[in-house]
Chain A
Amino acid sequence: MRTLLHMLRKEFLQLRRDPRIVQLILIGPIAQLLLFGYAINMDVNTVPVVVCDMDHSIESHDLIARFSNSGYFPIVGYVDKLSDVDPYIDRSKASLALIIPENFGRDIKRNASVPLPVIVDGSESNSASVGLNYAGAIIAGYSQNILVQNFSRRGFGGLHPIQVIPEVRVWYNPELKSRNFLVPGILGTLLLQATVLLTALAIVKEKESGTMEQLIVTPIKPYQIIIGKLAPFFIIGAIDIVLAIAGTTIVLGIPVRGSIWLLGGLSLLFIMTTLGLGLFVSTVSQTQQQAMMTTIFFLIMPMNFLSGFIFPIENMPKIIQYVTYLLPLRYFFEIIRDVFLRGVGFDVLWPQALALFIFGVCILTLASLRFRKKLA
C-alpha cells in the first residue's frame, strides 16, 4: 500500500511539473468545447432561392409569394434570364432555382399541364432533399388550388381544394435544433481524446527515456505501476467531465432532461474503458510518435466517426452497424443523448452501462496482462 502511495505521489509530481500538459488537459478541452459548441450546427433552416420569373403575371407572383411566405425559402435574387441563374447556383448563393416560364399564368388557367422547372443544387444532399420535398409540396398545393378554381369557374360551385393537413409535432427537440443533439456528444469525444492519448503517452515516454526499466528493478509490483499511471488520468478525466457538463449546460445552454448525476456516474464508467485503451496502446507502441499515431488514427478517428457522433449509425450498412457494437463510445453517445434529450433514467440505460462495464473490464485485463508480460 505504501509503495502504491509513493508511486502515486511520483506520478502526480511528474504531472504537476509539466506545465504544458496541464494546459493541454484543461485549456484544450474547454477551447474545443466552446469551438465545437458554437460551430456545430447542421440545421436545415432555410433553402435560399433564386427566382427567374419570365411571366410577371398575378399567378407567378402568387406562386413566388407562397415560397417566400413558407419561411423555408428566403428569396435571394430575382433574375429575368435563364442564363443568369447559373452564377447563383455555381457560387452557392442559392440552392434552389424556381423558373417560371412565359405565359405561365395564362396557361395554367387552361389546365394545360405547364412544365415548371425547379433546379436544386444536389451537392449538399441533406438540405437538397428537404428543399425538394417542401418545394414539391408548395407547388402541388398551388397546382391543386388552381385546378379547383378553374373547375368552379366553369360553373361547378361549392368545391374547395381538399387537403390532408399534416400537423407535425416534434418531440424532445421541438425547434429541431441539431445543436441539442450534437453538442452533448462533445463530452464523449473530449474524454476519449484526453484520456487515451495522455495515458498512452505518459507510459511510452517513460519507456522511451528508459526510466521504466528503473521502475521495474524497484520492488514496485506491475499492478502498482499500472494503478499509479492510470490514477492521475482518471482524476483528470473526472475534472474534464465536470467541466464539459458544466460548459455544455451553463455556457452553451443545452437543456438537460435527465439526471446530471447519472450522466456523471456513467461518464466515469466510460473513462474506465478509455484508460484501458490508453494502457493497451502503450503496450503496442515503442515511441511517442507511434503511440500518438495509433491513438489518433486507429482509435479516436474511427471511433468518432463510427459511433454516431455526427453520422447516424442506422444509416450505415448492416455489417458496420455490427462493428459499432464493439465501440464503447457508441454506448456512451447513446447514454449522453438519452440523458440530455430524452431524459430517461438508469432503468432504460442499464444495457449500455453494462456494455461499458464489460468492455472496460476486458480491455483493462487484456492491457494489464500485456503490460506485465512486457515488463517481465
Chain B
Amino acid sequence: MISVHRIRPIIRKEFRQIMRDRRSLGVLLVVPAFMLIMFGYALNYDVQHIPLAVYDQDRSTMSREFIQQFIHSEYFDFAGSISSEQEIDTVIPSQKARVVVVIPPRFSEDLLANRSVSIQVLVDGANATTAATAAGYLVAMTQDYSTNISLQALQRFGMSKPTLPIDYRPRIWFNPELKSAKFMVPGLIGFILMMSTVVSTSLSIVREREKGTIEQISVSPIHPMELLVGKTMPYVLISLIATVLILITGYALFNVVVRGSMLLLFLETLIFTFCGLGLGMWVSTVANKQDEAFQLATLVSFLPTFMLSGFAFPIANMPKVIQWITFINPARYFLFILRSIILKGVGLSALWQETLFMTLFALGITAISWNKMRKSVFRV
C-alpha cells in the first residue's frame, strides 16, 4: 500500500522548498557552526586570570614569596596592593579584585618559629562557579606552600633532603586539559538535532495546513503515511549531515575525537532524531498556525534540551521533582550516551538502559502523534 514511488516526489518537493527558503536553510546550517565555534572559543567556565589584591601586613620576603606563587600562576592576576582594611570594602564592590588575600603582621615570624598561621582570604562569591574554582586553586596552592615550609623546617632540624612520603599523581581521564569545550561539543549535537528536527518538522506540516495545500494532498492518492515519511525524510537527512559536520569541526578545532564506536553513535543519533520528529509531529497536531507551531516547538525542544538534559546544568543538582521530570526527556539520555561514546569510548553494554528509554520515547511519541494526526490533520 505504501509505495516508494509516491514518497520520492514528496521528498523532492520538500527538498525544493527547503532550498528555496534560503534563510531557513542558512539557519539550519549556519547556526550549528556558529554555536560550535562559540562554545569552543568563547563560552567556557575555564576560570583563569582572576584579579587578586593583596593586603600584606607583614611585608617580608616570605610573605612576598607566598603571594608570588599565586600571581605567577595562570589562574590569578595581580590587581594591586592594599594598605588598609577599609580598602578591601572598595576593591571588591568595584570589582577591581575578585579575591583579596590578607596576610597577618607576624606571618614570617610565626612560620620561622614553626607555628601555623591563619591567613584571611576574601572571595567575591557573586558568581558562585568562578568563586568555587578560585577558592579551590587558593586552597591547593596554600597547601603547597605549607608543605614547602614544613620541608624547610625539617631541613633546619637537621634532616637532609626531606621528601614527602606520598607522591600525589592525579590522572585526568577523558579530558586532560580540562577544557569545557570537550564537554560542550557532544551536548551541542543533541541540542542542535532536537531544535532542527522539532522546529522544521512541525513548521513544514503546519505551513501546508495553513495554506490549505494539505487538503489537496489528502484528496490525492497519497497515503498519509507516505506524506509523513516524505516530509520528514529530508530533515532526518539534514540532521545527520549536521551531526557529521559538528563532529568534523569538533575534531578539527577542538580535537574532540570519537573514542567509541561510530556505528553505535550513528544508530543512537538516528533514534534520537526520531524522538525529535515525533515531537515535531505532535506539535503540528496541537498548533494551528505557524507562529504557534514555532513557539511551541521551541518551547518543547529548546527548554528541555537546554535546561533539563544536563547540557549545562548538572541534573544531580536539581530538586528531586525536576529530576523525575528529566526522565521523560529524551535529550537527557542522548546527551549521556553521546558523552559516554565520544569522550569515554563506552560501548552499548553500559548504555543499554539509556538506549532503551530513548527508543521507548521515540516509539511512544510517534505513535501518539500519528494517532492524533490521522484524526486532526488528515481526518481519516
Contact = CB atoms under 8 A, between A and B. Distances in A.
A43 B166 contact: no
A302 B120 CA distance: 40
Nearest to A72: B136
Interface string A303-337: 00110001110111100100000000000000001
7 contacts: A39-B307, A42-B317, A113-B163, A122-B172, A132-B136, A143-B166, A162-B115
B27 A293 contact: yes
Contacts of A169: 120-123
Given A122-B173, A172-B124, 16 more contacts: A38-B322, A39-B307, A116-B168, A128-B175, A128-B178, A132-B136, A133-B136, A140-B164, A140-B166, A159-B154, A162-B153, A165-B142, A170-B135, A312-B127, A314-B49, A316-B42
B249 interface: no
Contacts of B79: none
A315 B127 CA distance: 13
Interface in B345-365: 346, 350
Interface of A: 20, 24, 28, 32, 35-36, 38-45, 87, 89-92, 107-130, 132-137, 139-144, 146-148, 150-151, 156, 159-174, 176-178, 180-181, 197, 201, 205, 288-290, 292-294, 296-297, 301-302, 305-306, 310-312, 314-317, 320, 337, 341-342, 344, 348
Contacts of A42: 45, 128-129, 312-314, 317
B162 A147 contact: yes
B80 to A, nearest CB: 17
Interface stretch (B7-15, B238-246, B269-277, B294-302): B294-302
A20 B167 contact: no
A311 B43 contact: yes
Contact of A140 (B124, B168, B321, B350): B168
Most B C-beta atoms less than 10 A away, residue of A38, A117, A178: A178
Contacts of B340: 90, 92
B217 interface: no
B159 interface: yes
A173 B131 contact: yes
Interface string B167-185: 1111111111111101100
B146 A144 contact: yes
A312 B166 contact: no
A165 B119 contact: yes
A130 B162 contact: no
Contact of B140 (A133, A165, A168, A171): A133
A326 to B, nearest CB: 14
8 residue pairs, one from A and one from B, having the closest CB atoms? A122-B175, A173-B125, A133-B136, A170-B125, A133-B140, A108-B165, A143-B166, A41-B317
Contacts of A148: 150, 154
Contacts of A89: 173, 344
Contact of B318 (A38, A143, A178): A38
A162 B182 contact: no
A239 B147 CA distance: 58
Contacts of B299: 28
A76 to B, nearest CB: 11
Given A122-B175, A122-B176, A315-B44, A167 B31 contact: no
A345 to B, nearest CB: 11
B169 A310 contact: no
A176 B136 CA distance: 13
A305 B37 CA distance: 12
B116 A160 contact: yes
A279 B314 CA distance: 37
B133 A129 contact: yes
Contact of B180 (A112, A125, A177): A125
B233 interface: no
B163 A92 contact: no
A169 B134 CA distance: 12
Nearest to A109: B165
Nearest to B344: A90
B139 interface: yes
A176 B172 contact: no
Contacts of A119: 170-173
B170 A120 contact: yes
Nearest to B180: A125
Given A113-B163, A293-B24, A166 B121 contact: yes
A130 B130 CA distance: 10
A209 B128 CA distance: 49
Interface centre among B92, B115, B317 (most CB of A within 10 A): B317
A289 B290 contact: yes
Of the listed residues B128, B290, B298, B307, the one surrounded by the most CB atoms of chain A closer than 10 A to its CB is B128
Nearest to B181: A125
A116 B46 CA distance: 26
Given A297-B31, A344-B93, A165 B117 contact: yes
Given A28-B299, A119-B171, A305-B43, A108 B128 contact: no
Contact of A176 (B47, B132, B170, B336): B132
Contacts of B129: 42-44, 126, 178, 181
A178 B165 contact: no
A16 B166 CA distance: 72
Contacts of A168: 121-123, 135, 138-139
